[in-house]
Amino acid sequence: METKTATKKSPAKKTTSAKTPAKKNAAKGLEDLFEDSLKDIYWAEKALLKALPAMMKNATSEKLKTAIDKHITETEGHVKRLEECFKALGKKAQAKKCDAMQGLLDEGKSILEETEPGAVRDAGIIAAAQKVEHYEIATYGTLAAFAKVLKEKECLKNLLSTLKEEKKCDELLTKVADTNINSKAV
């Protein structure tokens, strides 16, 4: 005789996600969010300027060193363009810590500590740098879209110029990685 055992069904877990309360000084409109995001990327670019020389010093590939050196000069220009955006908005250029960039830079530092000098470290530097570039590409693309809607023509022009340079840097890093660095790292 066959007995049926009752299987207890566990009740479906309800996912209760509480709404996150806004801070006192939270953005109330797109203009506020735009300005806050400019402060964020301004901090990010300035922090990157401090990190790039260490990346260049630790690179062994001359092509990689040259690419990083070029990007240092471009990043100085990115900082100036952001300052022009603040000026166009009638605001003082102000930085606000960018947690995303801090995390990416910390990861880049870890890669340096966890790899031996040579092709493996160079491949790691490129990987870390491209993560930074992808973050910047996403940020500048979003900021350009905000500037367009807000009719901030001067900001839009500057943001699009920087976006174009960030994309070119990413492409250059891919070419440098493809010129034997990744193969040598095997």
Q: What pLDDT does residue 8 have?
A: 55
Question: pTM of whole model > 0.85?
Answer: yes
Sole residue written with tokens 């023509």: 153
Q: Looking at the domain assignment, is residue 2 inside a domain?
A: no
Q: Looking at the domain assignment, is residue 15 inside a domain?
A: no
Q: Looking at the domain assignment, is residue 14 inside a domain?
A: no
pLDDT band for position 62 (cuts 50, 70, 90) = very high
Q: Looking at the domain assignment, is residue 3 inside a domain?
A: no
116: left (phi over 0), alpha (psi -120 to 50) or beta: beta
Residue 178 CA to residue 27 CA, distance in Å, equals 43
- The number of distinct structural domains making up the chain is 1
Residue 60 CA to residue 81 CA, distance in Å, equals 31
* Residue range of the domain that includes 85: 30-185
What value does the mean pLDDT take over residues 138-145?
A: 98
Q: Looking at the domain assignment, is residue 20 inside a domain?
A: no
Torsion sign, CA atoms 25, 91, 166, 33: positive
Cβ–Cβ under 8 Å, residues 122 and 59: yes
Q: Give the contacts of 106 (CB within 8 A, at least 6 positions apart).
A: none
Report the chain's mean pLDDT, rounded to a whole number: 92
